[in-house]
Amino acid sequence: MKLRATMIIVLALLFSGFSHAKGEIVIKFSHVDAPESPRGRAAEKFRQLVEQGTDGRVQIEVYPDGQLYNGREEIEALQNDAVQMLAPPLSKFGAMGINAFDLFDLPYIFPSEEVLHRVTDGRIGKSLFRKLSPKGLTGLAFWDNGFKQMSSNNSMHSVSDLKGLKIHISPSKVLESQIKALGAEPQLLPANDIYSALQQGLLDGAENPVSTFHKQKLNEVQKHLTISNHGYVGYAVIVSKKFWDDLPEDIRVILELAMKEATDFERGLAQKENADALSNMIASSSTEVYVLSDRERTAWQRALLPVYQQFDRVIGNYLIRSVASTASQLKKEKDAANKKKKSNINK
């Protein structure tokens, strides 16, 4: 571990000298997704916008597919300035001890994408990013993967249908508690092993956004997919705090504007990718797709309430209440808009 840290520091010094050799700023943006993924395409979009906006004063070097660092190494590399920008999963921060980010793993915390983005783009998102500062990180944006659905070889309509199933999850105490609350058994495996584990019966099911389910070809080894929207997977675009603070203010403004446009672009791509994947799966009939009814979804939500009780203090009750308040406010706004629209029609 010490040897790895030393190597990263040495690389950082070499990269730093190269970055300023020609009087220009070079930002190394590393991520672990494919170039054609929403994350990969948004990183490229950001590169184009920044280089155009700064007339070449800032050069963005995008390294997809974990070319520089894998998911286990990238945060340490950023903290040591071997790279300057990442887009890791939000679950990374809970694992670093920033428990507030476990908010994103709570089941049914976001009733819609509108609520999700009102939270991430508003004061709650800003307060979460402030918690990164002690780790030497600065948050720039939240990017989407999508809402999670449940898959297995059994149909899953009621909570009782999940009893005893071995369900794959990402590393997270909240997700462990969620699966147990549904009566299933949480299982941890590397992403590359999920397909074969499902094929061999070592796993019964998994939870993924539809786009991930489709890309990993899990429809070949899973007969049923329940559209539950019970959880969310997302990313945070982060930079080294020291690197960011040392940038000229005019450059930071351009980077922020470019990131906002790239974020809108990424979210649109992620939404379309999930919608297209679902349409393709329904058309192929390889996996039976079932959408929970309102009544069934309410039963799932009720079964998952103990997860909130368990993590209320860990995550922060004020954060959970703030999200609920945001959802309530958005509903009021939509109801008022609909009421006004009907009133105008009747005039």
- Angle (CA) 163-167-169 rounded to 5° is 140
Contact between residue 28 and residue 78 where contact means Cβ atoms under 8 Å apart: no
Quote the DSSP letter at residue 89: B
Total structural domains in the chain? 1
Instruction: Classify each residue of 82-112 as buried b or exposed e, where b means 16 or more C-beta atoms within 10 Å of its C-beta.
Output: bbbbbbbbbbbbbeeebbbbbbbbbbbbbee
pLDDT at position 18: 36
Please count the other Cβ atoms lying within 10 Å of the Cβ belonging to residue 318: 10
Q: CA-CA distance, 82 to 75, in Å (whole number)?
A: 10
Quote the pTM value.
Answer: 0.90
Q: Which residues contact 113 (CB under 8 A, 6 or more apart)?
A: 144, 147, 271
Confidence at residue 346, expressed as pLDDT on a 0 to 100 scale: 67
Q: What are 203-258's pLDDT values in tens digits?
A: 999 999 999 999 999 999 999 999 999 999 999 999 999 999 999 999 999 999 99
Task: Give residue for tokens 């397909």.
Answer: 195
User: How many Cα atoms are found within 13 Å in the side-chain-facing hemisphere of 271?
Assistant: 10
Q: So what's the pLDDT on residue 342?
A: 76
At 299, which CATH number? 3.40.190.170
Give the pLDDT of residue 343.
73
pLDDT of residue 289: 97
Which residue segment(s) compose the domain that 67 sits in? 2-346
- Please report the pLDDT score of residue 344 as a whole number: 73
* Matching residue, tokens 């040392």: 246
Q: Number of helices and strands (H, E) in the chain? A: 14, 9
pLDDT < 70: residue spans in the chain: 1-23, 346-347
In this prediction, residue 341 carries a pLDDT of 77
